[in-house]
Amino acid sequence: MGPAGETTAPVEKPVDARELAANRRGWLKVLDAPALVRVCHLAGTLQQIHRESKLSKAAWERDIAPAIEQYLRYVQLLPASEAHHHAHVGGLAAHTIEVMHAAIAIRNGYLLPRGGAADAIDAQRDHWTYAVILAALLHDIGKLATDLRVELADRSDGPPRPWLPVAGDLLTAGAVEYQVRFAPRGERDYGAHRRMALVLAPRIVPATALAFVAREPSVMRALEGMLSGEDASGVLTEIVRRADQRSAASNLQQGPRNRFAAATAVPLVERLMEAVRRLLRQGGLPLNRDGAAGWVAGGAIWFVAKRLADAAREEIARSDPDDSAQIPGPSKNDRLFDAWQDYGLLERNPDTGQAIWYVEVRGTGYAHAFAMLKFPLDKLFDDPRDYPPAFDGELVVQPSRHVRGHTEPSSVSAEGEGGGGEAMCRPSPTTRKKPDVPPPRPAHAASKRSDAGPAQPAKAATRPDHEAPGNADAEDDYLTDDDSAGAVAAAIPLGSSPVVPRCPPRARTDRPVTPYVHVPPPPSPDDDTGAAGRAPSDAALRFMAWLQQGLADGSIAYNEAGAPVHFVEEGMALVSPRTFREFASRYGDDGGGSESGATPAAKLGTGIQRQVIKARWHLVGPGNANVHHYSVLGRGGKPVGKLAAVVIKHPERWVNPVPPPNPNLVPFHEKASPRASDSTEPGQET
């Protein structure tokens, strides 16, 4: 798990089944909870969950830790699936803990209950946190009855007998070893899957924890609705679903590929890739000509999406008719696209986060537009010597059909060059080591004003630049770390309701906000967001593009404790100097793409902050101040800290939709009035 709840590839090595093997071949030893935490390397993540939950140590040790331990006694080293994600030994435990961690991170971006008053949000904070943890913990417990068939033995040479989860965990059942088998697909009772969570909840969760949740009946009803599957649109279902997708996608792309010996199902993606590679070897997917199935450019093969799916399906039916019945039909090609995407075998369209690219192919004597899939060559061929030749023509990426705002078409030649070739050939956000910074929009392509912000009367520039409103060179606007958000010991999580995501819930699913366009056009002379005749610098545009991307994919948190970005009534507040330092540490103070090494640590970020201020997108305060100060409110509306920020006006030009203002931030000069009782419920931490 990465920082701020980000789900990444597990850092632990998969459990070696030989160390855990029982006397009988293929059987596993029954372990207690501490041993399971140790062999599955869960301790570090559990500590992070506790810390990010903001629950007191007493509440954690009384209610949450025992629930996790009892859950582990139930699931032991069972897999989460037969041939999909977390199919390895200990996969179900690893997946559940990952989902809990991701769910807590996502929960910290919500104000619950939705639409509630500040007093209700404050009073119910820990009740909702308990509910999120328990919902994540129990979300897959039904697999014990649906997907798996477990046999246990009371002694190493004893006869096997079926394990019934409703009778208690394996230790309670007196088992010393067990074996795992998978239920035939036709025998899987998905009704039992929904019932199991509610049936086992009282056996796994301490009564004190359930009693605490039940003090807020609406929270308890939400938890029951999620566990029963009856509330498919509830906030708990939404949070756990997003966390589940994040964990699954990370495991599919970067997790171990080993599976239980008893597994007989072959993953869909393996059958698909075998068929595609066979077709390429045999010439069944012609390339680089009019009427071809694909074209080679920019280090990838661009396949016509429907043609590739149909060809792979037909090849599987030809080579293995018995296996073809398990392949989604022609009306479900999106299932095939999902399989390739989930495993990171194709590059996603960065504008949409989806598999499909809209591309015009321009060859000698022909030009066609297709919905295409982009497969890097190294995903299709083991040896670079087998790579097919590059296309002697041009591929032009068209604007995504459902993305609002203007997008310049990008072209790619056989060498990956041409207009916009850098953006076209950049690695997928799910595979690159650190976020790519999109190049700034050329001035000629950005002359049209965004329609998101209202026009404002022009203000004449009557003073020299260094004396203009919002003096960008005022050194006293760059605050020390003691005045930044990193020094604020907030007593409650700062949150925001979720908004419409940019991408479908795949590898990275935090997605708090969606860029309105890649980079807004420079302000026109009659707009008060810029000085007359002055266009933003490339560095400022790169910074805002980085900010948009981070807000969209969830790598930049907002409206929570310690986040670098907060939305306020005045606009989008960028915590100073932290936000600018984070950018500069990756790309330098000029935003040129190289890490900063020459700038002294104390001055890191000042250069890029100055460029952003010179762009005149920000709110200028009294005395031409560029930096604004805010109080952070804790329980009862009492100030518990402060932060300073550069506030970007008209945030709708950069993100869409704009999250609601953080109610726990008020301008520093305003006096906060108590909004809730100072009393605390069990499990709350002041």
* Interatomic CA distance for residues 126 and 113, integer angstroms: 12
418 versus 100: the higher-pLDDT residue is 100
244 and 277 in a single domain? The answer is no
Q: Same domain for 359 and 414?
A: yes
CB 480 within 8 A of CB 606: no
Asked if residue 206 and residue 74 are part of one domain, the reply reads: yes
| Same domain? 152 vs 26 | yes
Task: Using alpha carbons, select from 532, 524, 534 the residue that is nearest to residue 461.
Answer: 532
pLDDT band of 182, cuts 50, 70, 90:
confident
Task: Report the share of the chain in percent with pLDDT over 70.
Answer: 68
If pLDDT is split at 50, 70 and 90, which confidence band does 257 have? Answer: low
> Of 240 and 674, which is predicted with more confidence?
240
Domain count, the chain: 3
Convert the pLDDT of each residue in 609-653 to its tens digit.
Answer: 999 999 999 999 888 899 999 998 887 778 888 899 999 998 888
Q: Are residues 201 and 273 in the same domain?
A: no
Same domain, residue pair 227 and 293: no
Q: What's residue 158's pLDDT?
A: 81
Look at residue 335 in the predicted model and tell me its pLDDT.
Answer: 79
Q: Are residues 83 and 215 in the same domain?
A: yes
Of 422, 451, 480, the residue that ends a domain is: 422
Where is average pLDDT lowest: 29-33, 260-264, 616-620? Answer: 260-264
With b meaning 16 or more CB within 10 Å and e meaning fewer, what string describes 541-554?
bbbbbbbbbbbbbb
Q: Is residue 504 scored above 70 in pLDDT? A: no
Neighbours of 363 (CB within 10 A): 17
Domain region containing 313:
268-422
pLDDT confidence of residue 609: 93
Q: Which of 54, 36, 39, 45 is nearest to 10 (CA)?
A: 45
User: Residue 51: pLDDT above 60?
Assistant: yes
Average pLDDT of span 358-363: 93
Average pLDDT (112-120) is: 89
Per-residue pLDDT tens over the stretch 209-233: 999 999 999 999 999 999 988 888 8
pTM of the predicted model as reported, rounded to 2 decimal places: 0.48
pLDDT at 466 over 50: no
Confidence of residue 193 (pLDDT cuts 50, 70, 90): low
* Helical residues (DSSP H) of 441-576, grouped into ranges: 538-553
Rounded to the nearest integer, the mean pLDDT of the chain is 74
Asked whether residue 339 falls in the same domain as residue 449, the answer is no
pLDDT of 215 reads 95
pLDDT band at 498 (very low <50, low <70, confident <90, very high): very low
The predicted model gives 23-33 an average pLDDT of: 83
pLDDT at 407 > cutoff 60: no
CA 191 to chain centre: 30
Q: Please indicate, yes or no, whether residues 644 and 496 belong to a single structural domain of this protein.
A: yes
Q: Is residue 4 part of a domain?
A: no
pLDDT of residue 633: 86
Listed range (223-237, 262-276, 367-381, 511-525) with the worst mean pLDDT: 511-525
> Helix/strand/coil (H, E, C) string of 446-458?
CCCCCCCCCCCCC
What is the rounded CA–CA span in Å between residue 561 and residue 105?
11
pLDDT, greater one: 506 or 350: 350
**pLDDT at residue 685, as a whole number:** 34
447-451, 455-459, 533-537, 585-589: which has the highest mean pLDDT? 585-589
Indicate whether 595 pLDDT > 60. Answer: no
pLDDT band of 174, cuts 50, 70, 90: confident
Predicted pLDDT of residue 69: 95
Do residues 366 and 467 both lie within one domain?
no
Does 3 fall in a domain?
Answer: no
Q: Tell me how far CA of residue 610 lies from CA of 27, 362, 582, 594, 619, in angstroms.
A: 64, 44, 15, 18, 14
Last residue of a domain, one of 390, 422, 454: 422
Residue carrying structure tokens 């041009």 = 394
Instruction: Answer whether residue 435 is part of any domain.
Output: no
